[in-house]
């Protein structure tokens, strides 16, 4: 194989393993449908294999897939092209002809594209005879003496390793090589190839924000438009700046840009606005065009990232676009300070100050999800929410999880929100599900404790029953920061939450909640944020019934709603969840005085009593 120092790391790994005699049959999987950048060229994987990696060392190179059959990119004189090799529609006959080439010629290479269609995964009892025969044929090739003796090599190319027959993947005589998503250096190379005029700082910036995109996608986004198209865009923007901000300025600019093709900016100015400032429009238009191109590229990159998440993990994750920040979050000042510090550290790249994961715990209705989305907005990172990735089919749950983790790792700069964490991770003993839960939890724990993800991938787990989470999942190094969410403990806290909820719901009122503390806030101590919001909305409905939808809500409406509201609540269960949140808190500073003064012994005794009382209630 070629010894070029410019080989991608995966190709260099394949070359070394072949030269060591580790195997003659290799499986290439992963990012196999991406472009390979080599010596300034943009090549497909097959073109790279045939034209670079194998070109100098192989005398015969044949590429085969079930759709187009066999084709030679290089052929030794002694290799005879048979009808079975080129025209046979059945893959078993084609494989037999390829085996003849491997057995009778030296320094030959066979590349099998879409290998999962040749040797698919599945129960052999339900496979077609040709599929079973193909699997056996490839398995024989891995240990066929003629192939190794004649210095031949077979490369199977598949995107998903799980779609290839496990009989081949688990074979010790078959070497598996992953073609990874582009790393930062490859992304820099792709950006430079796409647009050689990019400044070094722009190349570095695009290399960072395109994490998770394939090289072919980066090139398509950053390649500048044709010169004529770019000139038209700049001319249209220049004319729009001259015309000003009129209602039809954009349409007029588009038509005038077509009519003034070939004219200089000076001539266009004289034609459209002879009295205009000779420099203002030109400077503004030039700056706007450059900034517009950068913003357009940023939008395309963000959209492509979202497409990857939604396509690769269809039905398994939800792309979250938070619409609010901490400005509409009432109360919890210490919690917001901590989270804002984490968000700032993420934005500025101070990874040592960023936890590996955060656990939000507390009773339902305390605003865990609301604060999580506000935190995601403050961080400015791509945010996804894990949906139910469990499946009733054997192996599908683990496969779904690997797909999700693979995409998360490739994208980078991601916040992963897991709501109802105790349900998402399942039971810890794995009983009744064939050990699926224990394997899922073990894989998640392994991924979460990978320190290379610090500052790039932040897990945010929420639950009201942290006692049902695996203990090892909650340790430092996985969920470092544990933040309690509790019901309002004082009238002042109720009032702060109420003001934030009035802003959030755009309620029309001029009431100062501090002036009706006895009739409003005092009555709602110990109520959840959701309950307080329900009271405010009830007051809004009450005012609408009295005077119509546009009336201001008065103090009397709020008092009446607070007195009238009757929540559905299991007091003992809610206290138990609240004490669990206190027990899990990583800092006493985040606790209200009522709980900060409790000793661990007092807390444990109360939890034990409540645990006996509530039994299995949820």
Per-residue pLDDT tens over the stretch 210-261: 887 889 988 988 887 664 555 666 677 777 777 776 667 777 777 777 767 6
- Cα Rg for the chain, rounded, in angstroms? 32
Whether residue 31 is contained in a domain is answered as yes
- In order of 344, 451, 458, 459, the CA distances from 352 in angstroms are 12, 10, 13, 16
Same domain, 467 and 564: no
In terms of Cα–Cα distance, which of 526, 165, 240, 517 is closest to 365?
526
Q: Give the dihedral of Cα atoms 349, 354, 356, 358; nearest 10 deg.
A: -130
* Strand partners of residue 384: 319, 416
pLDDT of 306: 74
Size (the chain), residues: 618
23/171 same-domain check: yes
Looking at the fold, whether 527 and 615 belong to one and the same domain comes out as: yes
Per the domain annotation, does 608 fall within a domain? yes
Q: What pLDDT is attached to residue 284?
A: 44
Reported confidence tier of residue 5, pLDDT bands at 50, 70, 90: low
pLDDT digits (tens, 9 = 90+) for 121-148: 888 888 899 999 999 999 999 999 999 9
pLDDT at 450 over 60: yes
Alpha-carbon span 29 to 70, nearest angstrom? 21
Q: How far, rounded to the nearest angstrom, does the alpha carbon of residue 425 sit from its chain's CA centroid?
A: 19
Which one has a higher pLDDT value, 274 or 542?
Answer: 542
Question: Total structural domains in the chain?
Answer: 4
Do residue 387 and residue 465 come from a single domain? Answer: yes
Q: Is position 4 within any domain?
A: no
For residue 88, pLDDT beyond 70? no
Backbone angles phi, psi at 460, to 5 degrees: -125, 105
Which of 593, 310, 329 has the alpha carbon at shortest distance from 343? Answer: 329
**What does 515-537 look like in DSSP terms, one character per residue?**
GGTTTTGGGGTT--HHHHHHHHH
Q: What is the pLDDT of residues 304-340, one digit of tens each?
A: 777 776 776 777 778 888 888 888 787 788 888 899 9
Asked whether residue 457 falls in the same domain as residue 500, the answer is no
pLDDT at 469: 85
pTM of the model: 0.63
Residue 345: inside a domain: no
Position 229 scores a pLDDT of 55
d(CA 145, CA 243): 78
Q: How many CB atoms lie within 10 A of CB 141?
A: 24
CATH code at position 174: 3.40.50.300
Residue 216 CA to residue 220 CA, distance in Å, equals: 6
Beta bridge pairs of residue 158: 29
Task: Give yes or no: residues 474 and 366 share one domain.
Answer: yes
pLDDT at position 111, please?
97
Q: In which domain, by residue range, is 490 found? A: 486-618
Residue 362 has pLDDT above 70, yes or no: yes
Rounded mean pLDDT, 479-495? 88
Both 575 and 470 in one domain: the answer is no
Which candidate, 519, 518, 535, 516, places its Cα nearest to that of 527? 535
| 50 plus 133 within the same structural domain | yes
Q: Does residue 39 have a pLDDT over 50? A: yes
Tens-place pLDDT, residues 183-197: 889 999 999 999 888
Burial (CB < 10 A; 0-12, 13-18, 19+), residue 92, is middle
The tens digit of pLDDT for each residue in 426-446 reads 555 555 556 777 778 888 888
Task: Report how far residue 368's alpha carbon sits from residue 374's, in angstroms, rounded to the nearest whole number.
Answer: 10
pLDDT of residue 240: 74
Number of H helices, E strands in the chain: 26, 14
* Per-residue pLDDT at 286: 45
Q: How many CB atoms lie within 10 A of CB 14?
A: 24
Identify which has the larger pLDDT, 60 or 88: 60
The tokens describing 107, both together, are 């320094």
Q: Give the CA dihedral 165, 168, 170, 175, nearest 10 degrees.
A: -130
Average pLDDT value over all residues in the chain: 83
What's the rounded Cα separation, in Å, for the pair 299 and 227? Answer: 22
- Mean pLDDT score, 435-464: 85
Mean pLDDT of 68-97: 81
**Residue with token string 């010596």:** 39
How large is the average pLDDT for residues 509-522? 90
Distance, CA of 541 to chain centre: 41
**Over residues 42-71, mean pLDDT:** 93
Residue 277 has pLDDT above 70, yes or no: no
pLDDT score of 440: 80
Question: Which of 266-275, 413-422, 509-518 shows the lowest mean pLDDT across its residues?
Answer: 266-275
Q: Which range (54-58, 151-155, 563-567, 610-614) has the least confidence? A: 610-614
Is the pLDDT confidence value at 274 over 80? no
d(CA 449, CA 395): 23
Q: Are residues 526 and 471 in the same domain?
A: no
């Amino acid at each position: 194989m070629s010894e070029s120092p410019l080989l991608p790391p995966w190709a260099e790994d394949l070359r070394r393993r072949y030269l060591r005699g580790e195997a003659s049959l290799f499986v290439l999987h992963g990012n196999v449908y991406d472009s390979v950048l080599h010596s300034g060229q943009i090549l497909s994987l097959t073109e790279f294999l045939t034209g670079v990696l194998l070109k100098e060392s192989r005398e015969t190179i044949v590429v085969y897939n079930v759709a187009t059959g066999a084709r030679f990119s290089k052929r030794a004189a002694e290799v005879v092209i048979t009808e079975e090799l080129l025209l046979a529609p059945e893959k078993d006959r084609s494989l037999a002809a390829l085996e003849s080439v491997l057995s009778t010629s030296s320094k030959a290479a066979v590349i099998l594209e879409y290998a999962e269609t040749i040797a698919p995964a599945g129960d052999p009892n339900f496979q077609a005879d040709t599929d079973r025969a193909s699997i056996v044929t490839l398995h024989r090739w891995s240990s066929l003496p003629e192939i190794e003796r004649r210095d031949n090599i077979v490369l199977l190319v598949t995107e998903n390793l799980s779609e290839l027959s496990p009989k081949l993947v688990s074979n010790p005589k078959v070497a598996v090589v992953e073609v990874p998503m582009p790393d930062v250096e490859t992304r820099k190379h792709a950006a430079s190839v796409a647009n050689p005029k990019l400044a070094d700082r722009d190349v570095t910036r695009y290399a960072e924000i395109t994490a998770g995109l394939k090289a072919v996608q980066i090139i398509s986004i950053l390649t500048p438009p044709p010169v004529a198209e770019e000139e038209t865009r700049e001319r249209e923007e220049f004319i729009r700046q001259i015309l000003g901000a009129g209602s039809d300025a954009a349409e007029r600019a588009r038509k005038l840009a077509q009519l003034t093709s070939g004219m200089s900016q000076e001539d266009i100015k004289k034609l459209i606005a002879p009295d205009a400032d000779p420099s203002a429009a030109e400077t503004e238009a030039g700056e706007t065009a450059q900034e517009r191109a950068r913003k357009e590229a940023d939008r395309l990159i963000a959209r492509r990232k979202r497409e990857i998440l939604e396509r690769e993990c269809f039905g398994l994750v939800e792309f979250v676009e938070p619409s609010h920040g901490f400005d509409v979050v009432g109360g919890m000042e210490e919690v917001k300070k901590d989270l804002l510090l984490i968000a700032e550290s993420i934005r500025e790249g101070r990874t040592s100050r960023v936890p590996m994961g955060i656990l939000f715990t507390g009773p339902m209705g305390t605003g865990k999800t609301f604060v999580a989305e506000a935190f995601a907005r403050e961080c400015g990172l791509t945010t996804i929410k894990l949906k139910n990735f469990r499946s009733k089919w054997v192996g599908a749950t683990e496969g779904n999880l690997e797909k999700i983790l693979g995409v998360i790792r490739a994208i980078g700069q991601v916040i992963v929100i897991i709501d109802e964490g105790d349900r998402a991770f399942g039971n810890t003993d794995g009983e009744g599900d064939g050990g699926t839960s224990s394997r899922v939890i073990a894989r998640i724990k392994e991924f979460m404790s990978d320190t290379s993800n610090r500052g790039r991938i932040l897990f945010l787990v929420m639950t009201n029953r942290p006692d049902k989470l695996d203990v090892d999942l909650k340790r430092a190094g996985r969920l470092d920061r544990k933040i309690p969410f509790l019901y309002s403990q004082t009238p002042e806290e109720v009032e702060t939450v109420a003001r934030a909820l009035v802003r959030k719901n755009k309620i029309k009122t001029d009431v100062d909640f501090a002036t009706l503390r006895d009739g409003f806030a005092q009555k709602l101590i110990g109520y959840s944020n959701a309950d307080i919001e329900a009271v405010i909305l009830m007051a809004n409905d009450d005012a609408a019934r009295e005077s119509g939808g546009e009336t201001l809500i008065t103090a009397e409406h709020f008092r009446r709603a607070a007195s009238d509201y009757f929540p559905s609540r299991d007091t003992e269960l809610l206290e138990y969840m609240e004490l669990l949140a206190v027990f899990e808190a990583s800092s006493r500073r985040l606790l209200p005085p009522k709980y900060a003064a409790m000793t661990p012994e007092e807390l444990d005794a109360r939890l034990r009593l409540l645990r006996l009382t509530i039994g299995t209630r949820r």
